[in-house]
Structure 1
C-alpha cells in the first residue's frame, strides 16, 4: 500500500515481538506510517526485517523504557514528528501464584517500574509530539481491574496494572485537552507471556485493538476497554 505524507502515523513503544509486533503489522496493512521501538534494533530481528520490507513506511528506534535518558533521547530524535497515536506496549510478569507477602523488594520494583512508572514517563516525555486531537494509549490488563478482582492470584502483576490505570487517569486529569487516553486490554493472547493455551491469536488482538483505538478517537477522559471495545470496570 502506498503511503503519503498525509497518511496517519503511530508510535508503538515496545514492538519487538508478540502483540507489539502484531500491531506494527496491522497498522502497516492499514496504510499508516509506523515508528516502532525495541531495546536493541537489528536488521536481523523480526522488526528489522519488517522495516526492510516496508518501503520506508516503518521506522525503528531504540529504547529501553526503564532508562530515563533513553526516553529523553528518543524525544529528541522525534523532533518535528506529528503523531496520531502514541501507544506504549510494555509489560513484564512474575509468578502468578506468589502471594504479595513473599514477593522480594527487587521483584516488586521491577514490575512496578516497567508496568506502571516507565510507561507514564514515556507518555509524559512524548505527548508533545501527539496531535492535539490524537490518542494516547497504554497496554493494561483485565487483571488491573480492582472491581473485577474476585478470584485473587497474580497479586503483584494485578497491582502493577492497577497502578498503571491510576497513573493514566491522573495524567489525563492533569493534562486536560482533547486527547483520548486509553487503558487497553488486549485479551488473553497466544504470546510468550500469554502462553500457548490462550484464547485468541496475536492477529485477532491487534486488529481489535486498532479498531478500538479508532472507535474511541475523540473520547474525553480516560477509557478502560478491551480489544473488542467493551468497557472494563476500573
Structure 2
C-alpha cells in the first residue's frame, strides 16, 4: 500500500513488505548498526554477530505490519526505514516487557544485549502507558537512512507517516507480514498473540540530536531525558564511545 511520495518525487513511502524486507535490513545493518549512538556506545558497530541479533528484533517487529520504508523511485533501493512495533501494556507487574524478554531469550552477544537492556531500562523509567493513560502504542523502534540518501528529510517523513499509520489502525489492519515473508533465516520466530488493541499514542526513544530534531518538528512531548553517561558497556560509558559527554536520549510521545 503506497502512502506518499516526497515533494521532489524521488522517493515513495510504503509499508514494509516481502519485496522490501531485505533492503530494509540492509539499511539497519549499514546505517543504524554503524552510526546510531547507542550502537556505538554498546559497540554493536564493531560486532557483526550483535548486529545480526538486532536484525532478528527487526524481523520480529516486522510481523506487526506497521513498519515503513522509503524507496528511491529511480533505482528501487530501500533508502530509509522505520521499524515500528505495537507495544501493549503488560497485564500484571510480574509480566516482563517485550524488550526485557528479547534481551534474555534472544541476545547471545553482550553488545546487542546491552543495547536492548538500554531500551528496556529507559522505557521502565518512564511508563508511558501510565503517564498517558493508555493501553497500547505504536513505537518508532529503529529509524535509519543510508548515508548516501541522508539530508533528504526521509526520517521526518517516515515518522510523520508512522503517526498517520497509527491513527489509521483504528479502521483495521493496513498491512501484514508473515514468517514466510521473512525468509528461512528468520523463521525461528515464535508464534505471536493477536493484538486487538489499537494505539492511542506514538512513542519513541530519540537518541541523537538529529532524531530529537525530528521529534520536535512533529510536536512530540518529551517525558524523560537521560544522559548517556549513565550507561556503561565493557568499562566505558556510552558517552565516552560516542565522543560527547553531553549526549542524551529522550523518551517522547504524541497522542493520536
More helix, by proportion:
2
Common fold: TM-score over 0.5: no
More strand, by proportion:
2
Q: Which has the higher contact order (CA 8 A, sep 6+)?
A: 2
